[in-house]
Amino acid sequence: MHYNKQRVNQSSKQAWVDNNLFLNMASVNKDLVKERKSATFDKELLTEILYNGKEGVKRRRYLQNIAIQDPYLKSLTPWWNRDRETHYDIALKKAVYLNQLMEKMNITAPIDMFILREAAACQENNPLGLHQVMFIPTIEKQGTKEQIEKFLPPARAMKYIGTYAQTELGHGTFIRGLETTATYDPKTEEFIINSPTLTSMKYWPGSLGKTSNHVILMAQLHSQGKNHGIHAFVVQIRSLEDHRPLPGITVGDIGNKLGYEGMDNGFLMFNNVRVPRDAMLMRYSRVERDGTYVPPKNAKIAYGSMVFIRAMIVGDMGRSLAQASVIAIRYSAVRRQTEIRPGGEEPQVIDYQTQQEKLFPLLAASYAYIFMGYHMAVEYFRVTAEIERGNMEEMQSLHALAAGLKALSSDLASSGVDRLRVSCGGHGYSLASGLPKIFTNITPAMTYEGENTVMYLQCARYLIKMYAQVASGQQLSGFISYLSNKPRPHSGVNEALKLEDLIELYEHAASRLIQGVAMKMQSLMKSGKPEEVARNMCSVQMVQASKVREVIPWKL
Amino acid sequence: MHYNKQRVNQSSKQAWVDNNLFLNMASVNKDLVKERKSATFDKELLTEILYNGKEGVKRRRYLQNIAIQDPYLKSLTPWWNRDRETHYDIALKKAVYLNQLMEKMNITAPIDMFILREAAACQENNPLGLHQVMFIPTIEKQGTKEQIEKFLPPARAMKYIGTYAQTELGHGTFIRGLETTATYDPKTEEFIINSPTLTSMKYWPGSLGKTSNHVILMAQLHSQGKNHGIHAFVVQIRSLEDHRPLPGITVGDIGNKLGYEGMDNGFLMFNNVRVPRDAMLMRYSRVERDGTYVPPKNAKIAYGSMVFIRAMIVGDMGRSLAQASVIAIRYSAVRRQTEIRPGGEEPQVIDYQTQQEKLFPLLAASYAYIFMGYHMAVEYFRVTAEIERGNMEEMQSLHALAAGLKALSSDLASSGVDRLRVSCGGHGYSLASGLPKIFTNITPAMTYEGENTVMYLQCARYLIKMYAQVASGQQLSGFISYLSNKPRPHSGVNEALKLEDLIELYEHAASRLIQGVAMKMQSLMKSGKPEEVARNMCSVQMVQASKVREVIPWKL
């Protein structure tokens, strides 16, 4: 063995440099130029439709250019060649740098901050992100005036760096199952935070592994011998002096994942750690000094923001699918493969119908989900306004729609991005293509903010309930009105189908699937099965009825 | 910002240790024990069926124990917590250590070496693997007696460490499209090796980035002003003294990938590098001193081993799917989620039908592909023996079967392993689950050894050709005999279907799809389309006819 690590690395590092120089010399590929010239639509107009008109596009480009031209951001190691330690290191440096930059430039609108972070490739890799979108807002929303005054100034000054610790090793979507306890001790006016089992270990929260010194802790509140359910607590976990875990606390990074290299997802255990009474966020419910529990007036406080986040995922999935589509389509224009005529030139792979069948339906789907995301945002604000006026009518419908679309869009985006990756042959496997990163970045969306199968089932339960109303003669409105529709007769399979016909047929298929599963459910219960058993026996069809997509043979 | 890298790492490393201690304390989960006890079949008998009888299982366990108990192998960093540099480092150390161990223990049978490497988790991460399975065998098979005497002793002594450099940045499955040239210069009796374009850069070969000092180079042979097609050359690329690239050679690692962290896939360019005439492996074809080219007697030399490797992939995919199934099924037995009855115990997720629908069809498929792999090996040796006796009849059929099954098995395994990963919720995303590693390890099989869409099309072209024989009245035999069968009448949709009926219906569907695309092809050509245009227009249906799977609504 003539192996010498240092020498090997020297030679390959030199070669890397040479190689990159070589790549930088390349001009724009002629096939790409040709394809771009042959577009039959107004690209600028489409961009304006996607990004909020002329002004929106102008602002977007201005912000993107700041990130792209920035000498500091340019100087960082390219992300496809980092190890995980470097990933985290750079992610944190970037997050701090961008915070300072935005403060200096007075960039404060959320959309502007989003664009700038996106252009700086800092979306996923932002260890300070949860501090800003979860830690601070939870204190603002659920804290009393005194708590806000106590916690917010050090949080804003980044003296407290926090995250949101909800998920446990053994508990995810079913939040009532969380095991971490906060038991009130009236003698000392403290809560005792404890992790009673291995499965109660907090597991997965981002920014917990290394970054945070505080958490919003979701725990079962016990007082006067009773369990009052899940409540939020502000708990310090690491020293403000030397960042070591405080006594009784075990905390660290959960290790490598399929992606999210820049994020320090962590674990956290408590061994009877005492925190003051005002650690519990008490705007809506509270524990008195003597231990008396005062419940919230409205139990559905967290409900709205959960629906909002799910609705937002729909558009995110569309944008990720769009990114991957752009990469795969550009590759397909540039890559040439296999002569069609013996001895002829190798054609661009985009000219193969098998390649087109991989690319174009997913490109179309990305538009569908991007626009669906905008629609969901509008619906969310409309229905929320209604709810605030006391009209709860559409709350359930919005919840079901957000659950179903969150699942469907993340399902399709995850498998679709992977399909686009594979459509680029070996190069899709290289991190340099960007495709693995998009995949590993979005595939967790199938699990987070509500596991997809649970989401499909929630959507199906709502649809079955609505179908029962149709069966009892009611006319439905809104997005589920198709359940009331009778299909028009069609003259036969050779009829030229218009888009309206296709939608109608799709709705009819969806309606039939719901009808089928509703009838199966009824018949099982008539035959004596308990409801929960009957529902389990119908659950596969319920998921299929939610998606519909899978039962259409020529599927996406 | 109170961020200090060293302190953060210290605290999280300590926590990692505590956490691992905690995990090691856990005993076998009671739910797992219960499920294992309730098996209704003889596990030992099944193991013997899978692994070559009682003796095979005994030998397998003996070898696995060597790897599992070995103190040196035990001492290495766990793979789910390594950065890429460490991955490569450990991969190389392991490969060298295992080579020495096997020599010391006189383990020489390929199956024994395979089991030992697999148990030491060294399959993918073996930077010396291609030296053993591609570099040395190619010299043995394609070298003259003199070349074998020259190259083999230093290769066996690991003085030469080699790999196989075929794929280029712009050229993969279509080998005739390779651009690297080897031009013979009769004045000096040398070949001039050159990379004339960016796309001609060798790209992807394993062990090229850091490990190898030699390659088997596949290049277009030019002599006396003519191109004689692709030939193999033994070319030194790095110094035997200090491992630096030789003059005129640019070589290095291609950077991070979605997986294969322990493998140094590389790139390689030649700037008119001169090598002696005997660099060309000349057993079958040769270039005389004066430049006269003598072609091989049989052009299909490499054909057999390509079919063999594809056939072997089928079983590999089954085994990977089986590994992932075991992990996901165990997880589903242990994980509890969401009370079915309000206030009741949370059931094991394996009791949910939606979870069963994710797990069990893929478990079944893993058995199907494992046994299909054994069948393909038997068929390969049978047909090869026939070919050696001069009977070429079944060569095409075996080629089509291997191409189709390689594509289908890798397609299903890649999406199936990903599905199993997601069925484990968040934990499937953690490298510690083992699932991302299985996924990233097998998903390249959709591309390597023949890109899947190309494989499906090759299979379909053969099926269409065979269908034409049926249409002209011939009776087919072998695996394509179903194309001749007329379906038996079935009495209706409510008939109880036996396994035989399902197979028959599947064959009928497959036959109908081939018929459909054959007729479409014919009609396009009748209407004046050139054959290559007609074929492109039928290609999506050709792929679907190869798989069949996708047009069955309740698909895997």
Residue pair B238/A10 in contact (Cβ under 8 Å)? The answer is: no
pLDDT at B7: 38
**Which residues in chain B are classed under CATH 1.10.540.10?**
28-126
Structure-derived torsion over alpha carbons of residues A315, A321, A326, A330, reported in degrees to the nearest 10: -170
Give backbone dihedrals phi and psi of A548, rounded to 5 degrees, phi first.
65, -45
Contacts of A532 in chain B (CB under 8 A): 340-341
User: Residue B92's closest CA among B168, B158, B165, B164?
Assistant: B158
Name residue B447's amino acid.
T
Between B212 and A83, the higher pLDDT residue: B212
Q: Look at A422 and B553 and tell me if their CB atoms are within 8 Å.
A: no
In chain A, the largest separation of any two C-alpha atoms, in whole Å, equals 90
Closest residue of A to B79, CA-based?
A: A256
User: Residue A308's closest CA among A215, A248, A223, A384?
Assistant: A384
pLDDT band at B503 (very low <50, low <70, confident <90, very high): confident
Q: Which CATH number fits domain B28-126: 1.10.3720.10, 3.40.50.410, 1.10.540.10, 2.60.120.10?
A: 1.10.540.10
Q: Look at A539 and B353 and tell me if their CB atoms are within 8 Å.
A: yes
Q: Look at A83 and B83 and tell me if their CB atoms are within 8 Å.
A: yes
- Calculate how close chain B gets to A247, using CA atoms only, in Å: 12
Catalytic option among A449, A504, A532, A550? A449
Q: How far is the C-alpha of B57 from the C-alpha of B43, rounded, in Å?
A: 12
- Residue of B9, B10, B12, B239 best to disrupt the A interface, most CBs of A under 10 A: B12
Query: What residues are paired with B215 via a beta bridge?
Result: B163, B235
pLDDT band at B556 (very low <50, low <70, confident <90, very high): very low
Contacts of B89 in chain A (CB under 8 A): 5
pLDDT one-digit tens code per residue, A456-487: 999 999 999 999 999 898 988 888 888 888 77
Residue pair A72/A97 in contact (Cβ under 8 Å)? The answer is: yes
pLDDT of B147 above 50: yes
Size of interface A-B (CB pairs under 8 A): 292
Of A58-62, A379-383, B187-191, least confident by mean pLDDT is A379-383
Contacts of B357 in chain A (CB under 8 A): 540
Q: How far is the C-alpha of B462 from the C-alpha of B483, rounded, in Å?
A: 12
Closest residue of B to A238, CA-based?
A: B11
Residue pair B265/B254 in contact (Cβ under 8 Å)? The answer is: yes
Query: What residues are paired with B223 via a beta bridge?
Result: B226
Average of per-residue pLDDT across A406-432: 96
Q: Is B84 on the interface with A (CB under 8 A)?
A: yes
Contacts of A354 in chain B (CB under 8 A): 453, 457, 539-540, 543
Task: Select the residue of A14, A240, A250 nearest B18 (Cβ to Cβ).
Answer: A250
Interface ipTM above 0.90: yes
The whole-model pTM stands at 0.92
Q: Look at A339 and B174 and tell me if their CB atoms are within 8 Å.
A: yes
Average of per-residue pLDDT across A494-498: 69
Task: Select the residue of B80, B251, B258 nearest A431 (Cβ to Cβ).
Answer: B258
pLDDT one-digit tens code per residue, A133-175: 899 999 999 999 999 999 999 999 999 999 999 999 999 988 8
Window 278-297 of B: residues touching A by CB (8 A cutoff) are: none
The DSSP string of B237-252 is: -B-TTT-PBPTTEEEE
pLDDT of B526 above 90: yes
pLDDT at B246: 98
- Residue of B17, B424, B429, B452 best to disrupt the A interface, most CBs of A under 10 A: B429
Residue pair B447/B172 in contact (Cβ under 8 Å)? The answer is: yes
**Which residues in chain A are classed under CATH 2.40.110.10?**
131-294
pLDDT of A503 above 90: no
- The reply, when asked if residue A47 is annotated as ligand binding, is no
- Calculate how close chain B gets to A484, using CA atoms only, in Å: 25
Per the prediction, chain B carries an average pLDDT of 89
Q: Using CB atoms within 10 A of its CB, is residue B429 exposed (0-12), middle (13-18) or buried (19+)? A: buried
**Which residues in chain A are classed under CATH 1.10.540.10?**
40-126
Q: How far is the C-alpha of B446 from the C-alpha of A141, rounded, in Å?
A: 49
Catalytic option among B55, B261, B449, B532? B449
Q: Is A432 on the interface with B (CB under 8 A)?
A: yes
pLDDT of A550 above 70: no
- Calculate how close chain A gets to B297, using CA atoms only, in Å: 23
User: Residue A318's closest CA among A405, A250, A393?
Assistant: A405
Give the domain A40-126 fold.
Answer: Butyryl-Coa Dehydrogenase, subunit A; domain 1 (1.10.540)
- Residue of B6, B19, B417, B546 best to disrupt the A interface, most CBs of A under 10 A: B19
Task: Select the residue of B2, B14, B172 nearest A243 (Cβ to Cβ).
Answer: B2
CA atoms within 13 A on the CB side of A197: 10
Contacts of A440 in chain B (CB under 8 A): 258
Q: Look at B8 and A96 and tell me if their CB atoms are within 8 Å.
A: no
Give backbone dihedrals phi and psi of A529, rounded to 5 degrees, phi first.
-70, 135
pLDDT one-digit tens code per residue, B14-68: 444 444 444 444 578 899 999 999 999 999 999 999 999 999 999 999 999 999 8
Q: Is B450 on the interface with A (CB under 8 A)?
A: no
CA atoms within 13 A on the CB side of B285: 20
pLDDT at B267: 98
- Calculate how close chain B gets to A234, using CA atoms only, in Å: 19
pLDDT of B121 above 90: no
Q: Is A103 on the interface with B (CB under 8 A)?
A: no
- Residue of B22, B81, B253, B440 best to disrupt the A interface, most CBs of A under 10 A: B253
User: Residue B433's closest CA among B444, B449, B417, B445?
Assistant: B417
**Which residues in chain B are classed under CATH 1.20.140.10?**
303-450
- Residues 6+ positions from A503 with CB-CB distance below 8 Å: none
Long-range CB contacts (< 8 A, 24+ apart) of B30-36?
B31/B333, B31/B334, B31/B336, B31/B348, B32/B330, B32/B333, B32/B334, B35/B333, B35/B350
Q: Is A41 on the interface with B (CB under 8 A)?
A: no
Name residue A372's amino acid.
M
Q: Look at B255 and A3 and tell me if their CB atoms are within 8 Å.
A: no
pLDDT band at A214 (very low <50, low <70, confident <90, very high): very high
pLDDT at A84: 79
pLDDT band at A304 (very low <50, low <70, confident <90, very high): low
Task: Select the residue of A243, A251, A446 nearest B15 (Cβ to Cβ).
Answer: A251
User: Residue B100's closest CA among B111, B89, B113?
Assistant: B113
Percent of chain A with pLDDT over 70: 91
pLDDT of A327 above 60: yes
pLDDT at B26: 54
Q: Using CB atoms within 10 A of its CB, is residue A241 exposed (0-12), middle (13-18) or buried (19+)? A: exposed
Sheet with B202-203, edge to edge strand ranges:
B202-203, B266-270, B249-253
Give the domain B303-450 fold.
Answer: Butyryl-CoA Dehydrogenase, subunit A; domain 3 (1.20.140)
Average of per-residue pLDDT across B473-489: 83
Q: Is B156 on the interface with A (CB under 8 A)?
A: no
pLDDT of B288 above 90: yes
pLDDT at A323: 96
Q: Look at B252 and A340 and tell me if their CB atoms are within 8 Å.
A: no
Q: Which CATH number fits domain A131-294: 3.40.50.300, 2.40.110.10, 3.40.640.10, 2.40.37.10?
A: 2.40.110.10
Between A380 and B306, the higher pLDDT residue: A380
Q: Using CB atoms within 10 A of its CB, is residue B538 exposed (0-12), middle (13-18) or buried (19+)? A: buried
Q: Look at A83 and B80 and tell me if their CB atoms are within 8 Å.
A: no
Give backbone dihedrals phi and psi of A274, rounded to 5 degrees, phi first.
-90, 130
Can you say whether residue B118 is alpha, beta or left, with left for phi > 0 and alpha for psi between -120 and 50 degrees?
alpha
pLDDT one-digit tens code per residue, A55-78: 999 999 999 999 989 999 988 877
Q: Is A31 on the interface with B (CB under 8 A)?
A: no
pLDDT at B493: 61
- Residue of A7, A8, A199, A264 best to disrupt the B interface, most CBs of B under 10 A: A8
pLDDT at A101: 95
Length of chain A: 556
- The reply, when asked if residue A167 is annotated as ligand binding, is yes
Average of per-residue pLDDT across B338-350: 83
Q: How far is the C-alpha of A3 from the C-alpha of A395, rounded, in Å?
A: 66
Contacts of A529 in chain B (CB under 8 A): none
pLDDT at B303: 59
Q: How far is CA B213 from CA B98, B138, B163, B208, B397, in A?
A: 21, 16, 9, 8, 40
pLDDT of B9 above 50: no
pLDDT band at A300 (very low <50, low <70, confident <90, very high): low
- Calculate how close chain B gets to A475, using CA atoms only, in Å: 31
pLDDT band at A303 (very low <50, low <70, confident <90, very high): low
Give backbone dihedrals phi and psi of A241, rounded to 5 degrees, phi first.
-85, -55
pLDDT of A14 above 50: no
pLDDT of B12 above 90: no
pLDDT one-digit tens code per residue, A515-540: 999 999 999 999 999 999 999 999 99
Concerning whether B449 is annotated as a catalytic residue, the answer is yes
Q: Look at B174 and A353 and tell me if their CB atoms are within 8 Å.
A: no
Tokens at residue B461, please? 């072209």
Structure-derived torsion over alpha carbons of residues A437, A439, A443, A449, reported in degrees to the nearest 10: 60
Q: How far is the C-alpha of B343 from the C-alpha of B470, rounded, in Å?
A: 64
Q: Look at A258 and B436 and tell me if their CB atoms are within 8 Å.
A: yes
- Please tell me what DSSP assigns to residue A135: I
